[in-house]
Structure 1
Amino acid sequence: MKYKEIFKEGKIGNLTLKNRMVMCSLAMGVSDERQCIGEDFLSYLMERAKGGVGLIVLENTRVDDEHGVAAPRQASLAREEQIEPLAKAVEKIHKEGVKLFVQLHHPGRETFSNLNSNEPVWSSSNKACGVCQQETHEMTTAEVEQVIQKFINAAVRAQKAGVDGIELHGAHGYLISQFLSPYTNQRTDRFGGSFENRLQFVKEIIEGIKRECKNTLTLGIRLTVDELLDSNGIKEYLTLKDGVKVCKELEKLGLDFIDVSNGIYESFNSLSEPTTYPQGCRSQRIRAVKEAVNIPVIAVNMVKEPWFAQKMLEEGLVDFVGLGRAVVADPEWVNKAKEGREKEINRCISCTFCFETLVSDTIPGKGPVKCAVNPRAGRELRYQSYVKDGKGRTVVVVGAGVAGLEAARVLAEREFHVIVLEKEGKVGGQINIADKPPHKEKMDWLVDYELVQLKKLGVDIRVNIDADKELISSFKPYGIILATGGVPVKPQIPGMDLENALTFKEVLCEEKRLENVKAAVIGSGATGLETAEYLCNKGNDVTIIEMLDSIGEGVYVQHYLDAMDKLSHYPVTYKDKTKLLEIKKDAVILENVKTKKVEEYSVDYVVMAIGVHSVRDLEGTCKDICSNTIVIGDAKVVGRIEGAVRSGFEAGYFF
């Protein structure tokens, strides 16, 4: 077998797992209104159990309904009524030869008052979370003891449901992590002060679970071993040295495994790495733990591909490889690796849209997390097996960006005869621009996946084709999908027709190669920031000009932090509250939107990065040919990768 280390049996405590792949906890917000495992959640879990993992760790599961709520549809074991639905899930998952652990969780200060009795959020001390920024209550000693008992009670309920083990959530700055860290624990009672006292909270939880569960449950912890706060200017925090020391002490307390992680909300990109981070970016910290303990080590490590999981096991970096976002993107990840079908894996591109929608949708109670490359994730009941009723009828897809490719894939799965027409010489659409900034190569993975699937399904893809009425009509289509995408916006301002006035596409695709010149990037959205980094990397002197009050306004925080960190290594000039009035051959005319002061600013080139507008010129023509015409992707509404993929998926699914 190609990946023989992955598919060796492995032991955690007294449990034997069929392989070394673990589906790690990842909040999805698919519990029912009682925070139980209902049909939606069970369908989500079963696809991944059938997908081949050896162990599933259930999402961060609530132990406290009053002061420990992270999201309205978060799984919970705070009440007796939640035992039976979990027991049903355990039984079904066990039938697939898969073990199930429950991860017990309390968010502490990393949550919101409106979810927690509209009272200040509870923590080890009254230091507010720099991200959530909620008024924070330092728990009394009695309250700490109450929460310890709630962890123990939840573990007992889990045991009654028949789970195989418990993972305590001691990572990412949640409550257990808050007690362990000198950054968030300034208590003066027996739960604070010295290292030993800071360990007391989790120690009493472990001892209580072992006592009440009669030492029969496999018990471990997911642990932040380094809060990575040095770049924030914070001097006292849980460092890797401290984290390793914690691991050693927890081993002495009889834990069966350690699931290594890092970071807290205030170092968020380290716990949910964006696409620019490579596979293996956590290896140094994982190895430090592995070398210090004798119990099994599990870790996620930005693993996206089987060869890297195999490498981690071969090198002895871990005993079990954790998959998080990877199996949200493709529940069949492990099976495909086992069957030698790794090229068919829909690889997670680390776009962090799942975390973005966790914040924008799931925590406010608007719906489950969304995956950019897998529209079915968390919605398996809504989008069940494809109805194969195409009967060989022809559907023409005009445009081979990700929306068009995804529509073609789903239509072909449904047994339509699909013809894709693309005017460029290469499929991918906007991805062929998005992959150009430094470290954005993962963007290509989505197109690679689509092409493998379309070839397997026998889809007819024709490039360098200028689709017109005559050509489209010649196919006598049953339906037409118009996925013609968008083009960069070119504002109507004086000088836009000059040779030194370019779009981000012309620059990133090197239709005009810029090196060692002075360039002004107009717009500081995600595209503008990435274009600026690309130009800096080519040795250019870059100024970013933004009309809004601040640079990066509206950019999702993880992308903003990542981009600004990269740009901090270059001498970039930032001009916010500044409007572009005119482009000249060697300068731009700018106006401060607050003071109305006008200046001439010397530059060699101007790069427009202010957005994209839809291209749908063929809509009328297509509707004349066939009334069954649908417009999708950027051609319908300009958006991001997730919107394009979902638009294409739904067009194919409901066609």
Structure 2
Amino acid sequence: MYRKLFEKGKIGKLEIKNRIVMVALASGVAKTDQTVGEDMIEYYLERARGGAGLIIAENTRVNDEHGVAAKRQISVARDEHIVPLEKLVNVLHAEKTKFFVQLHHPGRETYSNLNGDKPVVAPSAIPCGVCKQETRALETSEVESLIKDFINGAKRAKAAGVDGVELHAAHGYIISQFLSPYTNKRTDKYGGSFENRFNFLKEIVLGIKEACGKDYPISVRLTVDELLKLNGVKEEYLNLEMGVKVCIALEKIGVDVINVSNGIYETFNSLSEPMTYPQGTRTPLIKAVKDAVNVPVIAVNMIKEPCFAEKMLEDGLVDFIGLGRALVADPNWPKKAEEGRDEDINRCISCTFCFETLLSEVIPDVGPIKCAVNPRAAHELQYKEFNKNGNGKVVAVIGAGVSGLEAARVLSIRGFKPVILEKSDKIGGQINIADKLPNKEKIHWIVEYEKTQLNKMGVEIRFNTNASVYYLRNMKPYAVFIATGAIPIVPESIEGLNSNNVYTIDDVLSRRVNITGKKIAVIGSGASGLETAEFLCEKGNDVSIIEMQDEIGKGIYVQHYLDAMDRLSKFDIKYMPSNKLLSVTDRGVRLEKLVENKIVDYNVDYVILSLGVRSNNGMVDVFTNRFDNVKVIGDVSEVGRVESSIRTAFDAAYNL
């Protein structure tokens, strides 16, 4: 079906069984001593069994003194890492999957508490605008020593049987920092001119070729444009013209493949694109590199679907398809594509939850990453095999939102007979509202996947059905799963909220009301409030965002906040933090200006409430008092996001 995608390919003299590369993505599944353990083996083995031709291990430490990015980070900094790494190599080779490690040093993009509470190091003493750590410049002798660290790391990888190495020269880490005039202000042989800034990477490449042999494959993952223009940076930085020049220079010194990327931490949404970005967003940058070099090119490009990957290969845009989050979401993406089962792929929705948990869990060593649509990702040993002991026992699942659908899917795999009771006439719950937000169509992929799986399993869904105690007793269920979701918060204490000009964001996005060309106050600046404001602006409305807290978007994960605010910058929106809604009046809203401690009237035509949601848990006590085996999942258990809805459902159904 996808001829190009499953052709054999070559990197140097190394043959790859297909054109699918799992690119490096930190997962936090290494052991505390930075060696490979059973968690990491199972994580990568599942993706090898799923059909990936080449797997590039996540950022691999080469220096323990000042090169630490996370505590559970795979390492080749010491000889004791060789034997455990060899075990991983052997199991991947048994699946005919090739394996590289990505040699990495974070430079200024890390935290002092991970590096002995000392200043972080970089080419120059310029702190990262995101990490904001005290930063010192490396001495020339330290630079030379670090070059040897990369070379020695490659030697250890080869000793373990690893098929090749990738140098992480992307995303603003230390090699990228040396290449960029934005971060490299040195005056020795490693700074100043392009040639001098290139010396650090050049000496690493040539040193690896000398130590490991000229035929030992070297990939370079390269930021070809830092995209700092997006941040209003006027000074010189590594732009596309310079990035292509680096690629040409790399080919001349014998690099075997170039893995194209873009962005640094300060332009993070460009290197970890959120949901609103389309597939193919990096195409112009990739094409510029491909047109300039003859060595193979790997690239990620927000690829979620095999048809898009195939088109990239057909167009000659790349030689190998880079998949990161797509293989976290579904390890069997390649296998399903090869078998023509595209509809069975659990597509990544680009929610960036994996990156959010990289910051909140992996770096502080709380746990591995989490995937919103695949609870097993990086938790494969915890959920290794499904116990298929359901024996056809009936389980009533109340609610056909994503939590109810996921519970039914897992229960069916286990051999139970789930029956979904849904009060409306369609599945999806809140997703049917969320997917109406601008450029958020991907979120509906979750519902499409669940629907396909449940249809294939023959799971019964009873629409327009109210789940009463009487109704359930007639079903004689072995267990009852309550997945009735959440409902918007409409505070009874605020006067006027029952007025005809007051609506919730659900009313707006579900098209129960259509407002155009009006003056609107959106109350609340959470993620949904900001996204609904964009929706209303696109309909020609004059929008103000009123927020009681002292900042707009406080508490939103930074990627989502930056994306939302960037999109809203196209409109003339009035932001009103530190304003508390007191009441809705005939002319608009009455506010308490918290900073000035005074009450004002603000005239608007409509008021849209975005004050969050609360659990729709009114029936929980009723059912738990009358049935022995009741599971409360999703927002009914605790209001959260898509990830918690799916994870709580999966976990409850897996362990029933």
What is the TM-score when the length of structure 1 is the normalising length? 0.99
- What is residue 385 of structure 1 aligned with on the other side? 385
Report if the CA contact (8 A) 2:396-2:477 is conserved.
yes
Give the stretch that moved more between structures: 199-208 or 424-433.
424-433
SS of the residue corresponding to residue 598 of structure 1 reads strand
C-alpha RMSD of the superposition: 0.7
- What is residue 654 of structure 2 aligned with on the other side? 653
Report if the CA contact (8 A) 1:586-1:605 is conserved.
no
- What is residue 270 of structure 2 aligned with on the other side? 270
- What is residue 34 of structure 1 aligned with on the other side? 33
SS of the residue corresponding to residue 600 of structure 2 reads strand
Report if the CA contact (8 A) 1:298-1:321 is conserved.
yes
Deviations 1:313-333, CA, capped at 9 Å, x for gaps = 000000000000000000000
AA of the residue aligned to 1:252: K
- What is residue 440 of structure 2 aligned with on the other side? 440
Give 1:625 shift.
3.6
Write the mapping of 1:522-561 to structure 2, written as runs, cut at 5 A: 522-561=523-562
- What is residue 223 of structure 1 aligned with on the other side? 222
Give 1:636 shift.
1.1
User: How many Å separate the matches in 2 of 1:426 and 1:574?
Assistant: 37
Deviations 1:436-468, CA, capped at 9 Å, x for gaps = 111000000011111111111111111221221
- What is residue 76 of structure 2 aligned with on the other side? 77
Q: Give yes or no for the alignment of 1:417 onto 2:389.
A: no
Deviations 1:224-266, CA, capped at 9 Å, x for gaps = 0000000212121100000000000010000000000000000
Aligned residue-pair number: 654
User: How many Å separate the matches in 2 of 1:45 and 1:212?
Assistant: 27
User: How many Å separate the matches in 1 of 2:463 and 2:185?
Assistant: 64
Deviations 1:398-420, CA, capped at 9 Å, x for gaps = 01111111111111100001100
User: How many Å separate the matches in 1 of 2:35 and 2:221?
Assistant: 22
User: How many Å separate the matches in 2 of 1:436 and 1:212?
Assistant: 56
Write the mapping of 1:507-586 to structure 2, written as runs, cut at 5 A: 507-586=508-587
Report if the CA contact (8 A) 1:61-1:75 is conserved.
yes
User: How many Å separate the matches in 2 of 1:517 and 1:482?
Assistant: 40
User: How many Å separate the matches in 2 of 1:558 and 1:358?
Assistant: 13
User: How many Å separate the matches in 2 of 1:586 and 1:374?
Assistant: 48
Deviations 1:614-648, CA, capped at 9 Å, x for gaps = 11122233224421011111011000111111000
Give the stretch that moved more between structures: 587-596 or 438-447.
587-596
User: How many Å separate the matches in 1 of 2:627 and 2:118?
Assistant: 59
Report if the CA contact (8 A) 1:473-1:625 is conserved.
no
- What is residue 457 of structure 1 aligned with on the other side? 457
User: How many Å separate the matches in 2 of 1:233 and 1:444?
Assistant: 34
Give 1:472 shift.
1.5
- What is residue 214 of structure 1 aligned with on the other side? 213
Deviations 1:410-431, CA, capped at 9 Å, x for gaps = 1110000110011121111111
User: How many Å separate the matches in 2 of 1:430 and 1:187?
Assistant: 53
Give 1:216 shift.
3.5
- What is residue 486 of structure 1 aligned with on the other side? 486
AA of the residue aligned to 1:487: I
User: How many Å separate the matches in 2 of 1:367 and 1:623?
Assistant: 32
Give 1:215 shift.
1.9
Give 1:220 shift.
1.6
Q: Give yes or no for the alignment of 1:190 onto 2:189.
A: yes
Give 1:89 shift.
0.8
User: How many Å separate the matches in 1 of 2:431 and 2:554?
Assistant: 23
Report if the CA contact (8 A) 1:536-1:542 is conserved.
yes
Report if the CA contact (8 A) 1:124-1:179 is conserved.
yes
Report if the CA contact (8 A) 1:485-1:634 is conserved.
yes
SS of the residue corresponding to residue 47 of structure 1 reads helix
| Segments ≥4 residues shifted beyond 4 Å | none
Q: Give yes or no for the alignment of 1:4 onto 2:8.
A: no
Write the mapping of 1:343-382 to structure 2, written as runs, cut at 5 A: 343-382=343-382
User: How many Å separate the matches in 1 of 2:291 and 2:64?
Assistant: 38
Report if the CA contact (8 A) 2:304-2:348 is conserved.
yes
User: How many Å separate the matches in 2 of 1:636 and 1:8?
Assistant: 47
Give 1:594 shift.
2.2
User: How many Å separate the matches in 1 of 2:471 and 2:585?
Assistant: 43
Give 1:471 shift.
1.4
- What is residue 258 of structure 2 aligned with on the other side? 258
SS of the residue corresponding to residue 199 of structure 1 reads helix
Deviations 1:380-399, CA, capped at 9 Å, x for gaps = 00111100000100000001
Report if the CA contact (8 A) 1:26-1:324 is conserved.
yes
AA of the residue aligned to 1:626: F
Gaps of 5+ in 1: none
AA of the residue aligned to 2:545: I
Report if the CA contact (8 A) 2:222-2:262 is conserved.
yes
- What is residue 55 of structure 1 aligned with on the other side? 54
Write the mapping of 1:252-331 to structure 2, written as runs, cut at 5 A: 252-331=252-331
Write the mapping of 1:466-477 to structure 2, written as runs, cut at 5 A: 466-477=466-477
- What is residue 148 of structure 1 aligned with on the other side? 147
AA of the residue aligned to 1:445: W
SS of the residue corresponding to residue 511 of structure 1 reads coil
Report if the CA contact (8 A) 2:13-2:215 is conserved.
no
Deviations 1:504-534, CA, capped at 9 Å, x for gaps = 1001111111111111000001011111111
- What is residue 595 of structure 1 aligned with on the other side? 596
User: How many Å separate the matches in 1 of 2:92 and 2:239?
Assistant: 38
Q: Give yes or no for the alignment of 1:396 onto 2:390.
A: no
AA of the residue aligned to 2:270: S
Give 1:584 shift.
1.5
SS of the residue corresponding to residue 442 of structure 1 reads helix
Give the stretch that moved more between structures: 367-376 or 455-464.
455-464
Give 1:586 shift.
2.4
AA of the residue aligned to 2:113: N
SS of the residue corresponding to residue 589 of structure 1 reads strand
User: How many Å separate the matches in 2 of 1:270 and 1:424?
Assistant: 39
User: How many Å separate the matches in 2 of 1:650 and 1:350?
Assistant: 22
AA of the residue aligned to 2:387: V
User: How many Å separate the matches in 2 of 1:604 and 1:423?
Assistant: 33
Deviations 1:568-610, CA, capped at 9 Å, x for gaps = 0000000000000010232100111222111110101101101
AA of the residue aligned to 2:7: K
User: How many Å separate the matches in 2 of 1:537 and 1:51?
Assistant: 42
User: How many Å separate the matches in 1 of 2:587 and 2:41?
Assistant: 62
